[in-house]
Structures are given as C-alpha cells and as structure tokens.
Structure 1
Amino acid sequence: MWKLIIFNCILGFNYQIVTTNLNEGNSSALDYKSEFEKFKNNNNRKYLRDYDEMRSFRAFEENYKVIEEHNQHYKEGQKSFRLKPNIFADMSTDGYLKGYLRLLKSNVEESANNVAEIVGSPLMTNLPESLDWRNKGFVTPSYNQQTCGSCYAFSIAESIGGQVFKRTGKVLSLSKQQIVDCSVSHGNQGCVGGSLRNTLIYLQSTGGIMRDDDYKYVAKKGHCQFVPDLSVVNVTSWAILPVHDEQAIQAAVTHIGPVAISINATPKTFQLYSDGIYDDALCSSASVNHAMLVIGFGKDYWILKNWWGERWGESGFMRIRKGVNMCGIANYAAYAVV
C-alpha cells in the first residue's frame, strides 16, 4: 500500500563552492580552520552566536574529512562519484536531516492512483540504450528553489514542460509559484512541502498552468493568483508508474517525456555530491523525501535534474546508478497527460 508522500525539500541556496584539491582525492593534512574561513567568505556565511560558529566548524571539519577520504577512494577506482564542500558543508547530518529533509505522510490508498498502462505495451520494447532530452533541445534554466520546500512544484512543472517540448519543439517555462500558492486546496503545504500526487490532482482540476513569466517564482508562499485566461497548458489526466519498475520509467521518459520522481536524499554523500554516477549502498530505497526530474538515461545510470542551483552536482544535475532502485528512485514516479 502506497502512502502519499509530502516532500519538504528546502535545499536551494545561492552559493559558491570552496575550490580545493579534494576532487583529486588528496589526503594530505589540511588546515581545516583556514578552509572553514574560505568557506565562510565564499558563501557569505555569518553566524549569530559564537556557539553556532563553533558547532558549524565541527560539522565542516567532519564533512571535509569525509569528502577527502571519499575522493581518495574515487582516485583509487573504488568509488564511481566524487564529493565536494558546498553550502551544506557546515551542516551536521542531524541538522541536514531535520532542517531540510522533513517528510510528512497521509493515509491515501494506492488504489486512488491512476496507474499508467505502460507495462506490457509496445512502449516497453525497443527502448534506446541512452537518451538525454537536453541533447534534443529541452534545456531550461538551472533553477534554485532557495529556502522554499517546493521540489514537488518544480518536478511536475518541468515534467509538463518536457511533454510540451516533445510535442511542439518549444521550450516553455511553466509557473512553479502557481503550484506553491494554489495547490494548498488539494493538500499541499506551500513552502513547507507537497506531494507529486496532490500537485497532479490540483492541475487536473484547476484548468491548467500559467507561464513563469506571468506568475513568477518568489520562493515563498503567497495568495493564489491563478488567472484561467492566462493558462497555457491544460492537464487532462495523470498517471503513476508501476512501483519499483525502472524499465517503465525508461519507457515513459522515451515515449512521454521527462518524468517526475521521488528520491531519498538523506545520505551525507547525497548532501555533498559533486559528479560521477552516484552509487551509495547506504542510500536506502525504503523511504523518499525529495522530488527530482528524470531527464534522460544511459546504459547504467539515470540523469536527474535538481533545484538546488547550478553549483550543486553536475551543474545542477545528478547521475545515479540505474537498475537497483537506488535511493528509491522507482518508488513513486509520475507524469501528467497534457
């Protein structure tokens, strides 16, 4: 039985990365205090109290050592991805989890979902080994959701935009702010969090979605200002892909377009991800707490778009191991029918 997932994913900030030799896996002794000062300067980080700064430094030192050790293993060929110190580098695991990856659930029966009729159909056969919608021309800005937990809005809006591109060849940026402000009527909680399913039901019932230019993102919840006459895309239906079926995701990304997915962003390696194919055995598939967009795939990996700015991951994207339900990527995947 699937429980409705509410995502709280306040993970976007404007920031700069501390440039060091960590990507090379250099394990030589480091002056962590000096690196912390660089981190504060590069990220314009200020702390209200001395205790807060001391606590943040301890977390930074711990994370820096993790990054250094991990990247040394990468250099030796033992890891398939690298880490880097970013805006989360001064956060402890506990602070990261409690402050940025809170998860709420409500009791909704799985039978309430519209399960996509894609398994067993011709769409499941003759799938390409690789596909990247960016190479086909679907290139959108590197969004930063900032301090608003709106990953659900970005994921669904971008997925719809991908379908519009597939049909028309035009890149259309759709309003995430409309979803943040207006979908509370269908169970979402603005910047506190929301779910893919609630968002799809809202868009199907409300009469469509406006353009970003007409309803701009402000990273905080406001009053609903949806204007039906300015709606540019109507959602006629929506579908949830079969649980734990990555081939169904591959078929949907190929034939439908980019697909919104839920994922477990809990591990420290996810927090500090830099580049490469993410593959962490400690990233459980038992629960999910963030929403991203599958924008393509290779033979052994998925390509995901995130909403944490271009300095996180691979210019705002992530590659993650395919075929093992890494981080629960196949737990809950959805798309709208436009």
Structure 2
Amino acid sequence: MWKLIFFGCLCGLNCQIVTSNLSEGNSSSANCKSEFEKFKNNNNRKYLRTYDEMRSYKAFEENFKVIEEHNQNYKEGQTSFRLKPNIFADMSTDGYLKGFLRLLKSNIEDSADNMAEIVGSPLMANVPESLDWRSKGFITPPYNQLSCGSCYAFSIAESIMGQVFKRTGKILSLSKQQIVDCSVSHGNQGCVGGSLRNTLSYLQSTGGIMRDQDYPYVARKGKCQFVPDLSVVNVTSWAILPVRDEQAIQAAVTHIGPVAISINASPKTFQLYSDGIYDDPLCSSASVNHAMVVIGFGKDYWILKNWWGQNWGENGYIRIRKGVNMCGIANYAAYAIV
C-alpha cells in the first residue's frame, strides 16, 4: 500500500508606467494606451464591450502604480520579491478575489481522527535543509485553471501525481475534471469552489481517480463521468498534518512527496507576484482562500506550484517565506493513503 500526499488609464492620458524592465525596478515614460495594448496582445485579452475595456484599463493603471512603487522598494533592498504586469494586471482586487479565489473552508475539527502518522515519528527530524522535487524529475505543465474555481482539484490531483512519481519515477497525469464534476456529492461546488477535505473525502468514497487523457479538463462543471474500471490510483484513506506545524509539512514533503496546502492569496502583492521570496507582512494567516502544492523548500522558503499558467510568478511557481506561517500556509495540509 502506498501512502501518498494529497491533500486605467483613460484614453488619451499619459502616465508613468513600467515597460519591459519593470521587474528590474526601472521605469520609463510611456503612453498607457500603448502599454495596455501590449498587455492585451501578450495575454490574448479581448473585451466584449467598450465599457469592459475601459474598466480593465483603469485597473491596469492602478496595478501598474502598485508594481512600480513596490519594485522601487525592491531595488532599494526593502523587500525580497518583485511584482510584474502578469495575467491579473487588468483586474481590480474585487474581480480577482471573486474570480479566482474560491477555496471553501476545511474544518480541522471534522478531521481530528485523521492525524498523519508521520507526526511524532523519527521522520520529523530526518529532513534536509533544502529539497526540490523538480530537480528529481517531477516537472509537470504550467496548468491554468482558467475561470473555473478548481484550485482544490488541481492541488489534490497534483499531489497524488507527485507520490506516484516518487514511487515509480513516472509522471502520471490525473484527472482534475473528475474531481470538479463528481465531488459535489461530498460538498464541493464545481467551478464555484471546493475544499481540500471534501475532495479527499470524495476520493476515499469513490475509490480512485482516472487519467487526465481519459477525463480531460474543460474548465466548467459537467455531469460526472467517472468510470471505476478506468481508475488508475485508488484512495483508501487520508490524513492531515497538525495546524501551523511547518516542520511537519517539511517532513511530509521529504518522505512522502509534494503536499496540498491552503493559503491566503488575497493581497495585491500575491495577485501581481513576479519572483523572489514572497514575504508580505500584510498577508494574514487568519483565513485561507486558495489551494496550491508544496513542491519543495529551501532554508528560508517554500516552493509552491500554482494553477494560473506560466505567466504568473516564477513560471507558475512562487517561493514564500518559511517559518512564520506566511499567508496561513500551514493552516491545512493533508495527504491521502492509496
């Protein structure tokens, strides 16, 4: 039996914005309209109505001001990470929060009987200073959940894939769409959102998960089409790691593999993150609203994989400060037994 981790500028106005050297902390005077057109081309962005484009243009301007100020602070050594005009640069905070952060709450109390066996074991102390599963060959595509609030499905499926890789050395792409379509029976809400706990409970109940190629992702909720005979990984049980225990997460990532976690992705700095070690004191650990996977760690940081495509962060990843429960990274982490 395997034990696997689961778990605007307005038209005609000029403004100071950051050009291609923005992430370096340098800015130049340019026409906002020209830069906005560049952004649209780079991100294949199209708007149905003039009003929608004007609204996005305004958000673009406001976000660029934030980026420029922040990256100047980075250049002066006042912060450890940079921002950039990524795929969310034309979104207001409200649009970003409502469109992409849809993780439902996982109740720790309801999972008390599922405490991970790794807790209290000798494995807790036997961990390296750094580890990156990508360096061992676990490199998966920069997935994009698109407009579907399916972070919970991507996180659990990716974490299981990591465990399969650890055991076999092979990357077996698992179905995120199955979880989106079928886990509504256990409290998830398709593209409206879901929780890690509900997803784990569903997979235990249904027994397994199909391959991506047999049940491909379409970024919308559909009728459940799970075929038991096509299941390739069976889930028999699952466990959680202690709340706010980053050492337990480090041990699990080392000895079991990539771990699914919940996190607070609300801050504007998270929305516009580019690279470096994310360390925003305004990123509260009091609540979480997004799910990601811990793919590794360094001495002072975690390495997380996100589901917003390669144009967000460090080619789809983020490094985040370790040891202070930054953004609530240790609030809820879990793994499956398969």
SS at match of 1:200: helix
Answer with 274-283 or 222-231: which moved more.
Answer: 222-231
Match of 1:121 in 2: 121
**How far did 1:251 drift?**
0.4
Q: Distance in 1 between matches of 2:227 and 2:102?
A: 32
**How far did 1:307 drift?**
0.8
Q: Distance in 2 between matches of 1:209 and 1:22?
A: 43
Q: Distance in 2 between matches of 1:225 and 1:104?
A: 23
Match of 2:45 in 1: 45
Q: Distance in 2 between matches of 1:306 and 1:44?
A: 20
- 1:285-307 residue CA offsets vs partner (Å, 9 max, x unmatched): 01100000001000000000111
CA 330–106 in structure 1, closer or farther in 2 if over 3 Å, else same: closer
Question: 5+ unaligned residues in a row in structure 2: which ranges?
Answer: 1-17
Q: Distance in 2 between matches of 1:113 and 1:280?
A: 34
Match of 1:247 in 2: 247
**How far did 1:52 drift?**
2.8
Answer with 275-284 or 27-36: which moved more.
Answer: 27-36
Match status 1:235 vs 2:235:
yes
Q: Which amino acid is 1:264 matched to?
A: N
Question: 5+ unaligned residues in a row in structure 1: which ranges?
Answer: 1-17
User: Quick check: 2:87–2:311 contact (8 Å CA) kept in 1?
Assistant: no
Q: Distance in 2 between matches of 1:134 and 1:301?
A: 15
The two structures have a TM-score, normalised by structure 1, of 0.90
Match of 1:58 in 2: 58
**How far did 1:109 drift?**
3.4
**How far did 1:59 drift?**
1.3
The equivalences for 1:70-219 within 5 A come to 70-102=70-102, 104-105=104-105, 109-111=109-111, 114-219=114-219
User: Quick check: 2:106–2:195 contact (8 Å CA) kept in 1?
Assistant: no
SS at match of 1:86: coil
Q: Which amino acid is 2:225 matched to?
A: Q
Q: Distance in 1 between matches of 2:255 and 2:275?
A: 28
The two structures have a TM-score, normalised by structure 2, of 0.90
Q: Which amino acid is 1:191 matched to?
A: C
Answer with 29-38 or 251-260: which moved more.
Answer: 29-38
Match of 1:14 in 2: none
User: Quick check: 1:27–1:69 contact (8 Å CA) kept in 2?
Assistant: no
User: Quick check: 1:306–1:317 contact (8 Å CA) kept in 2?
Assistant: yes
Q: Distance in 2 between matches of 1:336 and 1:329?
A: 18
User: Quick check: 1:261–1:330 contact (8 Å CA) kept in 2?
Assistant: yes
Q: Percent identity?
A: 87
Q: Distance in 1 between matches of 2:37 and 2:31?
A: 10
SS at match of 1:134: helix
Q: Distance in 1 between matches of 2:174 and 2:149?
A: 18
Match status 1:323 vs 2:323:
yes
- 1:231-276 residue CA offsets vs partner (Å, 9 max, x unmatched): 1111121111000000000000001110000000100010000111
**How far did 1:27 drift?**
4.1
**How far did 1:28 drift?**
4.3
Q: Distance in 1 between matches of 2:207 and 2:87?
A: 38
Count of matched residue positions in the alignment of Structure 1 and Structure 2: 321
- 1:303-331 residue CA offsets vs partner (Å, 9 max, x unmatched): 00111111111111110000000000000
SS at match of 1:58: helix
**How far did 1:69 drift?**
1.2
Match status 1:224 vs 2:224:
yes
User: Quick check: 2:263–2:327 contact (8 Å CA) kept in 1?
Assistant: yes
Task: Give structure 1 regions of 4+ aligned residues with deviation exceeding 6 angstroms.
Answer: none
Match of 1:288 in 2: 288
SS at match of 2:284: coil
**How far did 1:332 drift?**
0.4
Q: Which amino acid is 1:53 matched to?
A: E
Q: Distance in 1 between matches of 2:106 and 2:328?
A: 19
User: Quick check: 2:132–2:296 contact (8 Å CA) kept in 1?
Assistant: yes
Answer with 126-135 or 36-45: which moved more.
Answer: 36-45
User: Quick check: 2:188–2:194 contact (8 Å CA) kept in 1?
Assistant: yes
